[in-house]
Amino acid sequence: MTKGRTELGDITPHNIKQLKRLNQVVFPVTYNDKFYKDVLEVGELAKLAYYNDIVIGAVCCRIDTSENVRRLYIMTLGCLAPYRRLGIGTVMLEHVLNICEKDGNIDNVFLHVQVNNEGAIKFYEKFGFKIVEEKKNYYKRIEPADAYVLQKSFKEGSTDERKTASETSSEDTTDKIMS
């Protein structure tokens, strides 16, 4: 496939069903209605990725604040298999990292990745993410059930990275209803 035009677009009530369908195909877990309702509220933190005007990917994030630590959690970032390795994931992740940079008040960005997803782990490591924790039995109905917490920190001397990444993890599982 030749290099095409990649653009990010807003997620709206008119195209939320495209996001749902995309997530069903790309991810091994099912997201509940609250996930999609919340996505409509986060503005720039949720985007559809278009390749030559076709929806082929999406990124959905949220800000978590607790104990005076402000973190950005990447809930989902993915693209359809035939469109991988075309720089689309990079466009989506750079969008997220630019939001963090412009905000200037985000301590770190983190996400969960299934432990056997070597492609995703290598992708995030290229952008300075590090594995800071392994969550046993994070996923309910898929194998392997374990997840790594990958994190990229922005502020020097912020609180213990392992602690900050895992504080939100327990509530994250409530966002997912595993298939």
pLDDT at residue 162 tops 80: no
H/E stretch holding 1 reads none
- Per-residue pLDDT, averaged over 26-48, amounts to 96
Q: Would the pTM count as exceeding 0.75?
A: yes
pLDDT confidence bin for 157, thresholds 50/70/90: low
pLDDT at residue 10 tops 90: yes
- Per-residue pLDDT, averaged over 54-74, amounts to 94
- What type of residue sits at position 103? D
Phi, psi of 127 (to 5 degrees): -100, 10
pLDDT at residue 160 tops 90: no
Nearest CA to 45 out of 15, 8, 86, 17 is that of 8
Residues forming the active site: 73, 112
- Mean pLDDT over the full length of the chain: 88
- Per-residue pLDDT, averaged over 87-95, amounts to 97
For residue 67, the model assigns a pLDDT of: 81
For residue 156, the model assigns a pLDDT of: 66
Q: How far apart are CA 31 and CA 24, in angstroms?
A: 8
pLDDT confidence bin for 2, thresholds 50/70/90: low
For the CA atoms of the chain, what is the radius of gyration? 16
pLDDT at residue 175 tops 70: no
pLDDT tens profile 113-147: 999 999 999 999 999 999 999 999 999 989 999 99
Q: Tell me if 131 sits within 8 A of 174, measured CB to CB.
A: no
pLDDT confidence bin for 98, thresholds 50/70/90: very high
Which domains does the chain show, CATH number per domain?
A: 6-153 (3.40.630.30)
- Residue 170 exposed, middle or buried by CB count within 10 Å (0-12, 13-18, 19+): exposed
Token representation of residue 57? 């990917």
Phi, psi of 42 (to 5 degrees): -95, 0
DSSP conformation letters of 29-67:
SEE-HHHHHHHTTSGGGEEEEEETTEEEEEEEEEEEEET
